[in-house]
Structure 1
Amino acid sequence: MQHRLFVGLRPPPAIRAALIGEMYGVDGARWQDDAQLHLTLRYIGEVDGRTAEDLARELGRITAPAFTLQLRGTGAFTKKDQPHTLWAGTGACDALDRLQHKVERASQAAGIAQEPRKFVPHVTLARLNSRSGSPIAFLQRTAGLQLDEWAVEEFTLFESHLRPEGSLYEPVIRYALDAAG
């Protein structure tokens, strides 16, 4: 059986609510709903059951301190100069970068190929297509976004289930970070 997996962080309810409050103003955008808001540490993709088990075991070996994180500013990923994803970014966070590096190493130890793309920490807010309106006004309005910091005390292995109305992200295993820091 195949599993479509990723490893991520789930912002707390107050942060998700603040993001949802900013998610408007682009005609035809497919805005994420509350259940979809997360920060991806590592997209895994489709793997078989054995690889999923190996990954879960390797992720369980990670030791890292809890830390605080803040979402700041927004942006857009583009393809062929056309925006396709709107996102909220993070401030610089060495602890986040170190955790992501450990997740990458654990993924490789489970037999998953190295991620070729540079890690750009973000929470996806919307998907755009060629029929979507311009995001310029949204990006200008939210450029100064600065949400409260939150305590990151765990990371999660998620399974993604594709549906016509949007992906459903099911938490498979939550891994606690060291509260002692």
Structure 2
Amino acid sequence: MPRLFTAVEIPPVIAMQLSLLRGGLHGARWIDAENYHLTLRFIGDIDDRTADEVADALDRVARRPFTVALSGLDCFSGRGPHSLFARVEPSPALVELQAEHERIIQRLGLPPEGRRFTPHVTLARLRGTSASEVASWLAMRGDVRLPPFEVSRFVLLSSRASVGGGPYLVEEAYPLAA
């Protein structure tokens, strides 16, 4: 069973700039730069037939290229901080693409995404890191601004069952047409 999700890839030059932020945070398991991405829709573990249906349905998405900008760093937390990420400035084109993916996946009979779409690029998973350590790290590095980049395609990625962070494999790529 493949574990699938749709995503926007991060260009190598932007990924390299993000990777320079790594380090200096106890309990951080840093994501490799080549695995940075912006998840549009997590699909999960599905059978091969459903995976083929997903791939086929995504091939009918007709959108134009658009620009994405990363602006600032932040942390997801619940009972404690668990993920460090770069914020993605939401744009109408990005939000519409994500919503279309959500509709496609639900039409195929898969359950709706339980979380609200928060565009981001995960940089590290945190374990045993205190909120004060994260706050201090963010105070020193959190105001990062990176140049915008054009999104000219989205991808269907697969991952092995793990605690996250890759490696990810591009199963299909879907160009956005001008």
Indicate yes or no: 2:120 matched with 1:122: yes
Alignment of 1:1-181 (within 5 A): 2-80=1-79, 82-130=80-128, 132=129, 134-162=133-161, 167-178=166-177, 180=178
Q: CA deviation at 1:35?
A: 2.2
**1:129-164 Cα deviation digits (max 9, x unpaired):** 12x362122211233211011010000000101468
| CA distance in structure 2 between the aligned counterparts of 1:164 and 1:39, rounded to whole angstroms | 17
SS at match of 2:74: strand
| CA distance in structure 1 between the aligned counterparts of 2:103 and 2:90, rounded to whole angstroms | 21
1:145–1:117 Cα change, 3 Å: same
**1:1-56 Cα deviation digits (max 9, x unpaired):** x1100100111010000000112220221000022211100011100011101100
The answer to which of 103-112 and 163-172 deviates more is: 163-172
Aligned-residue CA RMSD in angstroms? 1.6
> TM (normalized to structure 1)?
0.92
Q: CA deviation at 1:165?
A: 9.7
Identity %: 38
Structure 2, unaligned stretches of length 5 or more? Answer: none
1:109–1:162 Cα change, 3 Å: same
**1:104-132 Cα deviation digits (max 9, x unpaired):** 111112221111210000000000112x3
SS at match of 2:26: coil
1:107–1:126 Cα change, 3 Å: same
Q: Which amino acid aligns with 1:112?
A: L
| CA distance in structure 1 between the aligned counterparts of 2:74 and 2:162, rounded to whole angstroms | 26
> TM (normalized to structure 2)?
0.93
Moved over 6 A (4+): none
| CA distance in structure 2 between the aligned counterparts of 1:111 and 1:142, rounded to whole angstroms | 42
8 Å CA contact 2:64–2:176 kept in 1: the answer is yes
1:160–1:15 Cα change, 3 Å: same
Q: Which amino acid aligns with 2:112?
A: Q
Structure 1, unaligned stretches of length 5 or more? Answer: none
| CA distance in structure 2 between the aligned counterparts of 1:65 and 1:39, rounded to whole angstroms | 17
SS at match of 2:154: strand
| CA distance in structure 1 between the aligned counterparts of 2:164 and 2:101, rounded to whole angstroms | 30
